[in-house]
Chain A
Amino acid sequence: MTVEPLLVADQLTKSFGPTTALERASLQILAGEVVAVMGPSGSGKSTLLHCLAGIVAPDSGQVRYQGRDIGAMSDTARSALRRGEFGFVFQFGQLVPELTCLENVALPLRLNRLGRRAAERRAAEWLERLEVAEVSGKRPGEVSGGQGQRVAVARALVTAPKVIFADEPTGALDSLNGERVMRLLTDAARQTHAAVVLVTHEARVAAYSDREVVVRDGRTTGMERSGVAA
């Protein structure tokens, strides 16, 4: 049986001026799997993630989400896709400093035109699930890094996305907090059957994945021995 991959990157190439960040990088993500993207610093991991999420357009190559070419979509459609189907967790600085944590988590729902009350109710549930209900009224500046990161995970999950993109989600946390964030993130993702693309260079973080892809000098040298062709 072949499973149609959810997200496919095909021969992506991307240069920034003289630097080639990606060179014919390819990758497949199946629905519900957790894939770690590893590799040395500057190898193009973040760039790959940005291309996959339709944030950055590759110079050549294709990204297909559910069979649709993301590059061929309008910017509006891509934004809607990111709003509706994707979730994001970054290393830091991703919460809007002037909104409370609750409002931050509710933000993607409200961007999807859900009413304020309903959005904040769902946001509160997610804060609870991620064990940070107590910070809901505080501003991001007033919570610890680990709490903030869990708020960010709640925000990424609140729209029940199909894919969660996480770029060094534990980069600024100590190991205990990092593990906690990873456990909550992967548990929640598995429960909601969301795929996770996890960029990290920490093996312990990558160990939460189902398989890993290695990026080196912009090339994916991944052991593409996943269940794709099984």
Chain B
Amino acid sequence: MSDLLLGARMAFSGGRDGWARALLTAFGVGIGVALLLLAAAVPAMLQGRQARGDARFDFRLGEQLPAAANTLLVAPFDTEFRDRPVRGRLVRPEGPQAPLPPGVSALPRDGEVVVSPALKELLDSPEGSLFAPRLGGAEVVGTIGPQGLPGPHELAFYLGSDTLGSDGSNRIDAFGGGPPSEEFGPTLILLVVIIFVVLLLPIAVFLGAAVRFGGEPRERRLAALRLIGADRRMTRRIAAGEAVVGALLGIVVGGLLFAVGRQLVPLVTLWDISVYAGDVRPSLPIVALIVVAVPVVAVVVSLIALRRVAIEPLGVTRRASTTRRRLWWRLIPPAIGLVLLEPLVSDVRAVGEALTRHQVAAGVVLLLIGAVTLLPWLVDLLVRRLGRGPVAWQLAIRRLQLDSATSARLVSGVAVAVAGTIGLQMLFTGVQRQYTTETGEDPTRATSYVRLFDIPEGSAAMNQLLAVPGVTGGTGTLWARIARDGSSPEAAPAGYLRIGDCRALAEYAELGRCADGDVFRSLGPPDDGPSIDAFVPGTRIAVGERAASWTLPADTRTVPARANPIGWKRSEILATPGAIEAGRIGPLSVETYLDFDRDDPDTLERLRNTAVQLTRTSWVGRLSATAQADRFVTIQRGLYVGVVVTLLLIGVSMLVGLLEQLRERRRLLAMLVAVGTRRATLAWSVFWQTVVPVLIGLTVAVAFGLALGSVLLRMVNMPISVSWPVIGMSTGLAAAAVLLVTGLGLPALWRLMNPVGLRAE
């Protein structure tokens, strides 16, 4: 016990250096602990968001309610601002007891609006003028409270309206009560489980590295203790005491970091998702587990570290450099991992069940641990064979030959992170095909589209859109439903009539010749949309809401349809303005394709403003070739963020290791400079010393990543395909982290290359 206490005191001994070391360890462990706590808080985080999202559900399923004193009309009025979704609702209370949306204290009256704090901030900012027109000049009378928003940065508003009718809106007497939001499917569960494993494993590696910060001075100190009579067991207990202190301090620091980080969480929005600090709540059992496990791990790691060195009274000798690393036991974890994953390979459906979920996690963990255990052996093996080369290379390789364990340890974190990412991203790219739909849109033909439904002054609206500042050109058509003469196009639509000039109509069909006054029958694929077989030239047809009657001219030509810029291709009647008087028909829908500078986002916002002013039911969008399922995008991005954070963390520990090593060698560095070594030579040697293990690590990572990816793809019955861009991206990120580390280490190197170092010790 007294040995432990002695160790605890020694954690801080050694003056400024001792303190720096203790703080470094505490900080390193702290970061790890904070991240573990954060990971533990994720389920609660998602739950909180989801619960509040469900509570404001405002779509009534089933029978329509009668209007009453406690009903409210709600109509969706969603829009987007700068690629951020804006949840908009038009509301109109039908009586004094109309339900209040969560977080709203009073319903807005006509011309009033209640907005989320983020939207309020937007409106108050200079950019507000790009959004305000969408609220029709309504006065902001309040903000939505936290209980009415999934996250603090969501853009949302409730706009009061006196004119809202019951069609196109929902009548509800309470918010919430919808079906529970869709659960994650088995594939997604698999993904989430693996993402956690992939991100947490490197953090564990990082923790292991953090408790070893300052290892060499510690060993020297222990040697000094042996000299004055401590025996082996005592030194071990002292080391354990030291490790425990570091770990406990780390937990405290981690708790603080987490507490502070929690307050910072609301400040960031990642891909439209923001989180309230209050939602970041790790569950108690996990917290308890962390508090117990981290010191235990710290002690175990430091004892294992001591196993490799013999601390003798006269100093420290390393056994590792003499004994060859053995291969066989290093193969055990990945082998067990594969065995665990094997039965799941055939049937991914089983993944949803708890037991198999653990099996997946265990299998993946073991497979990835394989990368950690194999790496030192491989680094050792390869480095032994290198050595010829320029001085810088020679210095680096010889250093690695003498002690490859330190770098291998640090690099294994990178390797695990990269291997995991590659495996997952392989799975993603495979699964993406299930979730990503080709939109069929052709972004080369237009930048965006605006669709307005059933508005009286169609042509005027079209011109208004074309006149929006920033719009450089475009085409527009008006369209209406048609039916045989005598029946109602609204009740029984039998086809569509589209009116536009020759240029506009050319987007919908291969017109050939065209002049004003012409009419065409555009013939699309038979199974796509209503047929126009019945509408032969000379037929009388009813057009639009008012069923205006119009005769298809005798010289109507039949032409093949062409996919419009959003990829639709169907049979319809196309008429130039000279052939039909559009004003006679009544409300028409507008469909325009507009061009503007893609890099100027304001134009799109202005278009949205104009469209909203023209009608409540408008669609404004940017053309893009593919769309992904929302949730999938979120997971994928989450992974990228996680990997970047992880790599940065490992970068930090590599940097610490590098600095520590440089400090230890300052006398040597000073001497090398004194004898005239070029600084560049030393810089290169530091570079190689970092890069060589990382290259080996990345090779291992790619191999394990491919194995993991293949296993995962097999599990979801996907053909195995390798996505090289993904591999390039993951390894590139890691390489960037290494370069960053080396770059950050250089100033220290420069400083240490000062001849003053000749005096050290």
Measured CB to CB, the residues of A under 8 A from B are 46, 50, 53, 55-56, 76, 79-84, 86-88, 90, 93-94, 96-99, 103, 107-108, 110-111, 116, 139
List of A residues within 8 angstroms of B667 by Cβ: 93
Task: Tell me the number of A-to-B contacts counted with CB atoms below 8 Å.
Answer: 71
Determine the main DSSP class of B at the interface with A. Answer: helix
Question: Given A83, A86, A90, A116, which contacts B671 in the complex, CB threshold below 8 Å?
Answer: A90
> Quick check: A98 and B398 within 8 Å, CB to CB?
yes
> Quick check: A98 and B681 within 8 Å, CB to CB?
no
> Quick check: A107 and B391 within 8 Å, CB to CB?
yes
> Quick check: B678 and A99 within 8 Å, CB to CB?
no
In the bound complex, what is the Cα–Cα distance between A81 and B678 (angstroms)? 11
Given contacts A93-B671, A116-B388, 14 further A-B contacts (CB under 8 A): A50-B674, A55-B673, A56-B756, A82-B676, A83-B677, A90-B671, A90-B758, A94-B671, A98-B399, A99-B394, A99-B398, A110-B394, A111-B675, A111-B677
Give B646-674 interface residues, CB cut-off 8 Å to A.
667-668, 671-674
List of B residues within 8 angstroms of A56 by Cβ: 755-756
Q: Is the C-beta of B309 less than 8 angstroms from some C-beta in chain A?
A: no
Give B670-701 interface residues, CB cut-off 8 Å to A.
671-679, 681
Give B370-405 interface residues, CB cut-off 8 Å to A.
388, 390-391, 394-395, 398-399, 401-402
CB distance from B366 to the nearest CB of A (A): 35
CB distance from A202 to the nearest CB of B (A): 20
Question: Given B394, B671, B755, which contacts A103 in the complex, CB threshold below 8 Å?
Answer: B394
Over the window 9-22 of chain B, the binary record of Cβ atoms lying under 8 Å from chain A Cβ atoms (1 yes, 0 no) is 00000000000000
What residue of chain B has the Cβ atom nearest to residue A99's Cβ?
A: B398
List of A residues within 8 angstroms of B388 by Cβ: 116
List of A residues within 8 angstroms of B672 by Cβ: 96
> Quick check: B401 and A80 within 8 Å, CB to CB?
no
> Quick check: B675 and A83 within 8 Å, CB to CB?
yes
In the bound complex, what is the Cα–Cα distance between A93 and B668 (angstroms)? 7
Given contact pairs A50-B755, A99-B394, A83 touches B676 in the complex (Cβ within 8 A): yes
In the bound complex, what is the Cα–Cα distance between A71 and B679 (angstroms)? 18
* Most chain A CB atoms below 10 A, which of B395, B676, B759: B676
In the bound complex, what is the Cα–Cα distance between A93 and B674 (angstroms)? 13
In the bound complex, what is the Cα–Cα distance between A88 and B670 (angstroms)? 12
CB distance from B407 to the nearest CB of A (A): 13
Given contact pairs A56-B755, A98-B402, A86 touches B676 in the complex (Cβ within 8 A): yes
What residue of chain A has the Cβ atom nearest to residue B403's Cβ?
A: A98
List of A residues within 8 angstroms of B758 by Cβ: 46, 50, 55, 90
> Quick check: B674 and A53 within 8 Å, CB to CB?
yes
In the bound complex, what is the Cα–Cα distance between A107 and B671 (angstroms)? 13
CB distance from B688 to the nearest CB of A (A): 13
Give B319-357 interface residues, CB cut-off 8 Å to A.
none
> Quick check: A88 and B401 within 8 Å, CB to CB?
no
Question: Given A50, A84, A96, which contacts B676 in the complex, CB threshold below 8 Å?
Answer: A84
> Quick check: A79 and B398 within 8 Å, CB to CB?
no
In the bound complex, what is the Cα–Cα distance between A82 and B759 (angstroms)? 19
In the bound complex, what is the Cα–Cα distance between A139 and B678 (angstroms)? 23
List of B residues within 8 angstroms of A139 by Cβ: 402
> Quick check: B395 and A108 within 8 Å, CB to CB?
no
> Quick check: B395 and A99 within 8 Å, CB to CB?
yes
* Most chain A CB atoms below 10 A, which of B758, B759, B761: B758
Can you show 5 pairs from A to B with CB atoms below 8 A apart? A79-B679, A88-B675, A98-B399, A98-B401, A103-B398
List of B residues within 8 angstroms of A80 by Cβ: 676
> Quick check: A111 and B668 within 8 Å, CB to CB?
no
> Quick check: B675 and A82 within 8 Å, CB to CB?
yes
In the bound complex, what is the Cα–Cα distance between A133 and B570 (angstroms)? 91
In the bound complex, what is the Cα–Cα distance between A76 and B674 (angstroms)? 12
List of A residues within 8 angstroms of B402 by Cβ: 97-98, 139
In the bound complex, what is the Cα–Cα distance between A96 and B398 (angstroms)? 10
Given contact pairs A56-B755, A90-B671, A111 touches B676 in the complex (Cβ within 8 A): yes
In the bound complex, what is the Cα–Cα distance between A81 and B674 (angstroms)? 11
List of A residues within 8 angstroms of B755 by Cβ: 50, 55-56
List of B residues within 8 angstroms of A50 by Cβ: 674, 755, 758
* Most chain A CB atoms below 10 A, which of B390, B674, B678: B674
In the bound complex, what is the Cα–Cα distance between A116 and B389 (angstroms)? 8
> Quick check: A111 and B401 within 8 Å, CB to CB?
no
List of A residues within 8 angstroms of B391 by Cβ: 107, 110-111
In the bound complex, what is the Cα–Cα distance between A50 and B758 (angstroms)? 10
Give B614-670 interface residues, CB cut-off 8 Å to A.
667-668
What residue of chain A has the Cβ atom nearest to residue B759's Cβ?
A: A46
CB distance from B683 to the nearest CB of A (A): 13
List of A residues within 8 angstroms of B390 by Cβ: 110
Over the window 745-761 of chain B, the binary record of Cβ atoms lying under 8 Å from chain A Cβ atoms (1 yes, 0 no) is 00000000001101101
In the bound complex, what is the Cα–Cα distance between A56 and B701 (angstroms)? 46
What residue of chain B has the Cβ atom nearest to residue A86's Cβ?
A: B676
> Quick check: A108 and B394 within 8 Å, CB to CB?
no
What residue of chain A has the Cβ atom nearest to residue B391's Cβ?
A: A110
In the bound complex, what is the Cα–Cα distance between A83 and B667 (angstroms)? 18
> Quick check: A108 and B399 within 8 Å, CB to CB?
no
Give B145-195 interface residues, CB cut-off 8 Å to A.
none
In the bound complex, what is the Cα–Cα distance between A88 and B388 (angstroms)? 26
> Quick check: B676 and A108 within 8 Å, CB to CB?
yes
List of A residues within 8 angstroms of B671 by Cβ: 88, 90, 93-94
What residue of chain B has the Cβ atom nearest to residue A108's Cβ?
A: B675
* Most chain A CB atoms below 10 A, which of B391, B402, B673, B756: B391
In the bound complex, what is the Cα–Cα distance between A13 and B388 (angstroms)? 45
In the bound complex, what is the Cα–Cα distance between A88 and B671 (angstroms)? 9
What residue of chain A has the Cβ atom nearest to residue B760's Cβ?
A: A93
List of B residues within 8 angstroms of A99 by Cβ: 394-395, 398
> Quick check: B676 and A98 within 8 Å, CB to CB?
no
> Quick check: B668 and A97 within 8 Å, CB to CB?
yes
Question: Given A82, A96, A110, A116, which contacts B674 in the complex, CB threshold below 8 Å?
Answer: A82
In the bound complex, what is the Cα–Cα distance between A103 and B672 (angstroms)? 14
* Most chain B CB atoms below 10 A, which of A81, A83, A94, A110: A94
CB distance from A149 to the nearest CB of B (A): 14
CB distance from A164 to the nearest CB of B (A): 11
In the bound complex, what is the Cα–Cα distance between A79 and B678 (angstroms)? 7
In the bound complex, what is the Cα–Cα distance between A116 and B681 (angstroms)? 15
CB distance from A213 to the nearest CB of B (A): 21
What residue of chain B has the Cβ atom nearest to residue A91's Cβ?
A: B758
CB distance from A195 to the nearest CB of B (A): 17
List of B residues within 8 angstroms of A107 by Cβ: 391, 675
